[in-house]
Amino acid sequence: MSERVAIVTGGASGIGRAIAEGLADDGDRVVIADLNEATGKELADTIGGYFVKVDLSQRGDCKRLVDEALSHCGGVHILINNAGVQHIDPIEVFPEDTWDKMLAVMLTAPFLLTKYVWGSMKTHGWGRIVNISSIHGRVASPFKSAYITAKHGLIGFTRTAALEGGEHGITVNAICPAYVRTPLVESQIADQARTRGISTDDVVEQVMLEPAAVKRLITPEEVAALVVYLCSDIAGPITGADWAIDLGWTAR
């Protein structure tokens, strides 16, 4: 196809920004979905894309995002469910409203967006959906109950959608990174120090990097490179997989 249209949620910064730039470099028209209007519009202008301001915890915004993409671009061929939020607290004091919002953004929104783009992908007989899960979609850590629940659920949804999409030329995969150098991760360090009663330096060394064989944070561009590959024609046989970019976390 001459030009593919890709929706990237949380596309204004971090992993989402790197993915949007990578897909644009690959020749795709990118619809950037984010709450950060200033940064999102700036990036969309830079890469020749289109920006939609959305709150993915709101079901109506999920529908509006896809409707705008279809209206403005004529179709959707690629969906990257990347948007995420984090909150760190023990279960006994974890805010219930925060739980609801986190599951809405990281589990319900990917389901809704997949549902809404499915018809366009079926019409084209081709589609690529990549869900950005986490190493915490495979393993657990304390004090992240909502995040880990959502990311585990996202892998289950990925597998179900892959089974339904195969006959229509739609592949659905998940990527499970360990800690990536993003604003989301940087903001966790102080929270981890608070809940664990250790220093911020110890959080990086003992929590983020201790289980890893490769002792460094992942770059957003490294995640984006795998996304671009999974969205290619040559990756057509790959579906229902959860790809670990985990620095060796799960090698033990």
The rounded radius of gyration (Å) of the Cα atoms in the chain is 18
- Is 2 a residue whose pLDDT tops 70? no
The pLDDT value given to residue 208: 78
The pLDDT value given to residue 200: 78
**For range 245-252, the mean pLDDT:** 91
Please provide the average confidence, as pLDDT, over all residues in the chain. 94
**For range 68-86, the mean pLDDT:** 97
The pLDDT value given to residue 1: 57
Q: Are strands 242-245 and 170-177 parallel, antiparallel or unpaired?
A: parallel
Using CA atoms in the order 22, 234, 157, 167, what is the torsion angle rounded to 10 degrees?
140
The pLDDT value given to residue 198: 84
Residues near 142 by Cβ (< 8 Å), separated by ≥ 6? Answer: 90, 195
Q: Which residue has the tokens 């880990």?
A: 148
Tell me: the pLDDT tens digits for 127-182?
A: 999 999 999 999 999 999 999 999 999 999 999 999 999 999 999 999 999 988 77
Tell me which residues are annotated as active site: 147
E-only strand ranges, the chain: 5-9, 29-34, 50-53, 78-81, 127-132, 170-177, 242-245
Tell me: the pLDDT tens digits for 167-225?
A: 999 999 999 999 887 777 777 777 777 878 888 778 777 777 888 999 888 999 999 99
Q: Counting Cβ atoms within 10 Å, is residue 94 exposed (0-12), middle (13-18) or buried (19+)?
A: middle
**For range 11-19, the mean pLDDT:** 96
Task: Let me know the angle formed at the C-alpha of 191 by 109 and 246, rounded to the nearest 5 degrees.
Answer: 60
SS3 102: helix
